[in-house]
A and B are shown apart, each in its own frame.
Chain A
Amino acid sequence: MNIQFILNGEDIQIVAEAGDRLSDILAGRHYSDSVHQHCGYGVCGRCMVLMDGLPVNSCLVPAYEVRNSEVISWEGLIQTPEYQLIEIAWQTHKLELCSFCRPAVSLLMASLMDSSSRPSDAAIEETLSALNCRCTAPERLFAAGRTVVNLKEGRNKPDVR
């Protein structure tokens, strides 16, 4: 089937099987090197993208559902000013993320910044736990998430809890 969607601001038109997964399309056709098809069950979270503004596991999105949607991968996110805030938060908390986790953590943090209201600490932790990160201490990850939210709100004081 023909599928049209926007990826990182660009119109994409592809032919795919209806049941193909979005991760197959993005990684398999090299639209994005940051989308990793690792578990295929939505467990690892390393295929994370923003779809219509929300973080989703692209391995659980069938191709037909992508039609007319807007998808942002890490490659698109790093072009935005928000990404600089994310990097500041990482540096503040000396977050050591591997190449596999870095894109998904960035996208999840970007989604926290997009929240209409300030997310609670529990919501920050729940959101960042969507990635099964095995390369950094959870407390640092959450602290960086809180800092990102603070920075977005213009509170320049990084959270150093």
Chain B
Amino acid sequence: MDSERPLPALDLPLVSTFTTSDLLHVRILRSPVAKGRIKSIHIPHLPRGYRSIMIDDIPGSKTITVFGTEIPVLARERVSYRGEPIALLAGPDPARLQEAIELAHISLEEEEPDFTFSQFNSDRIAARCEYSHGDVELAFSIAQSMAEHEYHSAALYHAAQEPQGAVVWFDYDKLTIRCASQWPYLVRSQVAAVLDVKESEIVIEAADPGNHLDSRLWYPALLAAQAALAAVICGRPTRLILDRREDFLYTTLRAPVFSSYRSSCDKNGKLNAIDARIIINCGAYGVLAEEMAKRALAAASGAYSADNLRIQCYAVQSNLVPLGPFAGLVMPQILFAAERLIDDCARLADIEPVQMRRLNLLEKAAELGLVKRKKNIPFDELVESVCGISDFNRKHASFELVRKRHSDPAGQPGRGIGLAFGYQTPGGFITGSGTAASTVEVELTKEAELIIRSSSIPGTAGTVHIWKQIAADIIGQEPETIHFEPLRTGSLPDAGPSSHSGTITIISKLIEEACRAISQRRFREGLPIKVKKTMRPKNPVPGGPVDGCAWGAAVVELSINSYSGEPEVHGVWLSVKAGRILSIEKARNTLITNTALALSQSLYEHIPLEDGQIPEDANRCYHLARANQIPPIQVLLADSEDKAAIAGVGDLPFCLVAPALANALSQARDTPWQTDFASGMPGGGYW
């Protein structure tokens, strides 16, 4: 599939560069408190040409509905998180709007907010699921020892290149909205509902989302609805773009997860019981709570199993911003805990980490009730290759010797090397309610040009290149004769939500099938030939290590800087097996790029909490790694399997790097490292 052709540019417009005459800016008046009842709202007198918009000005639905959850477009009586939109102000001068926002006064009856989630009342549970086999309590009662472990995954900011926003303008009888959404049809349906107009009257023009890490899954629908509301009420084009601070504080963040485990294993290291309790902080409204809980349930023991297993998962609401979608949708947080657990158990049993994993690996044809596998997990292949290139076994044994010799290891920072093994589930990630099927239409025109129609948002120019190449190979035409119809709703079929990494698996398959169908009909029927292919989400075990997953193993080696006490990563090694690989070059680049991002998240990106809340200036302390802070990254890709399914690989680094780093840190510090970020010490303010 690889060719030497230069890569095409991802030719999507940007939101921020849009301009037109008569453009009105829109600013959001936000709740100053995290929980309370609104008593009154006082907005200062606005000059001519300016307008305030409250909930009663909304002609249609007062909420948007995303994945079955209703979220207010503007708060009416209650506020559920600090920064929740209460009113919109529109006008020509953004500085005057800002002044008006600062002079506005919202009188609220403040209530005690709920930020913590390790303890919660039942009325805060947005979703809950559990699974068990065997008898965990009995197993613990007869076990020689039982260990307890706790792991924390923090919230993360997506740091996409452009802050979120939307611009709206009138195009004859249509209202056109440009926004960087992963699911343009969701934006269209929600805007239509809010404005109480037909969906066909709204056109969504997709903008470049940058490297969004799934932060654009549903939030753009809220901003687009607000901007469209202002445009319709004022009768002018509008622009609502958040500044970086607002984007940081008030849009979605990664959901923090608290995992507590009890485990016991026999003297050989075989786990005989695992009891897991996983709590996901969904923030306000609990968007995707059920999906996240189900995924957590299926992934709670990672690639391993025990004779006696009990897993309880809770997705809990809190008075923080809506938390959730982020690369891998909760899988990295869950696999972090699972991989830390297996490493901690290995340490307690004094068994090599590779051996511990091998011993407890989910077997072929194992039926966990959650997951039925027909194929073997490629553990030996991947772990042996990654251990080989990183010299893991020798280094680990040597660092262990040093660790065990130290009388006071905390005072003698050392070196560590950590392993992690995990997977990325195939396909898109949304299996819950409100999810559309993915459809792609391909047409071979009379001029023998191939036009692909899909509302899927390609992650990069390379993805477009791959799709063109797939079509070119099947149809037997040059990629230059293959075109994608501009990404606008209306003319394109709904491809469903595009995920950070999963899109490539679904859309590639649909393009492939459609092109094959055209190829078969090409010389039997006259042109044009149109073929439409649709796929409905059918993964019965979201998040489970089912057949068709992409598997990976990672090793991270680090030392502790004696001056700063911070870890310094010396190298990262990844070994990946991902079924059929469409472009080795592209897969490798994706893996290295995302490994760099995952390292940045683990080493530098940390959102501190003040009294349970994100401080107002938190964005000033949110460090992102610079390119020259990234250590060497080596990736081994197992051979592509021609007949296998296409599996995405982009989320794998997010699932593997943090646990491998934490495992290395645990060895270097001779103390179990419980969080998936390395800045700050365990015992500090957890999410």
B208 touches A98 (CB 8 A): yes
A132 touches B460 (CB 8 A): no
Asked if B491 is an interface residue, CB under 8 A from chain A, the answer is no
Chain B residues, CB < 8 A from A67: none
* B19, B159, B460, B626: residue with the most chain A Cβ atoms closer than 10 Å: B626
Asked if A156 is an interface residue, CB under 8 A from chain B, the answer is no
CB-CB contacts of A46-87 with B at 8 A, as 1s and 0s? 100000000000000000000000000000000000000000
A91 touches B6 (CB 8 A): yes
Chain A residues, CB < 8 A from B161: 36, 38, 44, 46, 98, 100-101, 134-135
The answer for the CA separation of A129 and B629 in the assembled complex, in Å, is 9
CB-CB contacts of A103-122 with B at 8 A, as 1s and 0s? 00000000000000000000
What residue of chain B has the Cβ atom nearest to residue A98's Cβ?
A: B210
The answer for the CA separation of A41 and B623 in the assembled complex, in Å, is 12
Chain B residues, CB < 8 A from A134: 159-161, 210-211, 593, 597, 624
CB-CB contacts of B10-34 with A at 8 A, as 1s and 0s? 1010101101000000000000000
Of A30, A94, A102, A125, the contact of B628 (CB 8 Å cutoff) = A125
Chain A residues, CB < 8 A from B6: 90-91
A96 touches B627 (CB 8 A): no
A135 touches B460 (CB 8 A): yes
- Residues facing B in A31-50 (CB within 8 A) are 33, 36-41, 43-44, 46
If A36-B161, A134-B211 touch, whether A96 touches B244 (CB-CB below 8 Å) is no
Asked if B422 is an interface residue, CB under 8 A from chain A, the answer is no
Residues of A with Cβ closer than 8 Å to B?
27, 30, 33, 36-41, 43-44, 46, 90-91, 94-96, 98-102, 125-126, 128-142
Of A27, A38, A94, A130, the contact of B163 (CB 8 Å cutoff) = A38
A98 touches B7 (CB 8 A): no
What is the minimal beta-carbon distance from A36 to any residue of chain B, in angstroms? 6
A138 touches B163 (CB 8 A): no
B14 touches A137 (CB 8 A): no
**Known pairs A100-B161, A134-B211. 13 more at Cβ < 8 A?**
A33-B14, A38-B161, A38-B244, A95-B7, A98-B161, A99-B9, A100-B162, A132-B624, A135-B211, A137-B633, A138-B628, A139-B633, A142-B627
Asked if B243 is an interface residue, CB under 8 A from chain A, the answer is yes
Asked if B630 is an interface residue, CB under 8 A from chain A, the answer is yes
Chain B residues, CB < 8 A from A141: 627
The answer for the CA separation of A90 and B488 in the assembled complex, in Å, is 30
What is the minimal beta-carbon distance from B345 to any residue of chain A, in angstroms? 34
Asked if B502 is an interface residue, CB under 8 A from chain A, the answer is no
What is the minimal beta-carbon distance from A160 to any residue of chain B, in angstroms? 13
Question: Size of chain B's interface in residues, with CB distance under 8 A?
Answer: 37
10 examples of A-B residue contacts, CB within 8 angstroms? A98-B211, A99-B9, A132-B159, A134-B159, A135-B161, A135-B460, A137-B592, A137-B596, A141-B627, A142-B628
What is the minimal beta-carbon distance from A138 to any residue of chain B, in angstroms? 4
Asked if B620 is an interface residue, CB under 8 A from chain A, the answer is yes
CB-CB contacts of B609-637 with A at 8 A, as 1s and 0s? 00000000000100010111110110000
B626 touches A129 (CB 8 A): yes
The answer for the CA separation of A136 and B7 in the assembled complex, in Å, is 13
Chain B residues, CB < 8 A from A135: 161, 210-211, 460, 593
B620 touches A125 (CB 8 A): no
What residue of chain B has the Cβ atom nearest to residue A32's Cβ?
A: B17
What is the minimal beta-carbon distance from A39 to any residue of chain B, in angstroms? 5
- Residues facing A in B548-597 (CB within 8 A) are 585, 589, 592-593, 596-597
A136 touches B16 (CB 8 A): no
A33 touches B17 (CB 8 A): yes
Of A30, A90, A96, the contact of B19 (CB 8 Å cutoff) = A30
What residue of chain A has the Cβ atom nearest to residue B248's Cβ?
A: A39
CB-CB contacts of B259-293 with A at 8 A, as 1s and 0s? 00000000000000000000000000000000000
The answer for the CA separation of A131 and B16 in the assembled complex, in Å, is 19
A98 touches B460 (CB 8 A): yes
The answer for the CA separation of A14 and B97 in the assembled complex, in Å, is 24
What residue of chain A has the Cβ atom nearest to residue B207's Cβ?
A: A99
4 tightest A-B contacts by CB? A100-B161, A137-B592, A138-B627, A129-B626
What residue of chain A has the Cβ atom nearest to residue B245's Cβ?
A: A40
Asked if B461 is an interface residue, CB under 8 A from chain A, the answer is yes
* B159, B161, B624: residue with the most chain A Cβ atoms closer than 10 Å: B161
Asked if B462 is an interface residue, CB under 8 A from chain A, the answer is yes
What residue of chain B has the Cβ atom nearest to residue A133's Cβ?
A: B627
Chain A residues, CB < 8 A from B16: 27, 36-37
What is the minimal beta-carbon distance from A75 to any residue of chain B, in angstroms? 12
B589 touches A140 (CB 8 A): yes
Of A30, A40, A139, the contact of B243 (CB 8 Å cutoff) = A40
The answer for the CA separation of A98 and B14 in the assembled complex, in Å, is 11
Chain A residues, CB < 8 A from B628: 125-126, 128-129, 138, 142
Chain A residues, CB < 8 A from B629: 129
The answer for the CA separation of A136 and B162 in the assembled complex, in Å, is 16
What residue of chain A has the Cβ atom nearest to residue B12's Cβ?
A: A99
What is the minimal beta-carbon distance from A161 to any residue of chain B, in angstroms? 11
The answer for the CA separation of A135 and B633 in the assembled complex, in Å, is 16
Chain B residues, CB < 8 A from A43: 624
What is the minimal beta-carbon distance from B435 to any residue of chain A, in angstroms? 27
What is the minimal beta-carbon distance from B463 to any residue of chain A, in angstroms? 9
A132 touches B626 (CB 8 A): yes
Of A40, A99, A136, the contact of B593 (CB 8 Å cutoff) = A136
The answer for the CA separation of A41 and B159 in the assembled complex, in Å, is 14
A98 touches B589 (CB 8 A): no
Chain A residues, CB < 8 A from B7: 91, 94-96
What is the minimal beta-carbon distance from B4 to any residue of chain A, in angstroms? 9
What is the minimal beta-carbon distance from A91 to any residue of chain B, in angstroms? 4
A99 touches B14 (CB 8 A): yes
The answer for the CA separation of A104 and B624 in the assembled complex, in Å, is 17
The answer for the CA separation of A115 and B628 in the assembled complex, in Å, is 20
The answer for the CA separation of A134 and B215 in the assembled complex, in Å, is 14
What residue of chain B has the Cβ atom nearest to residue A137's Cβ?
A: B592
Chain B residues, CB < 8 A from A36: 14, 16, 161-162
- Residues facing A in B303-338 (CB within 8 A) are none
The answer for the CA separation of A137 and B145 in the assembled complex, in Å, is 46
If A30-B19, A40-B243, A141-B627 touch, whether A99 touches B208 (CB-CB below 8 Å) is yes
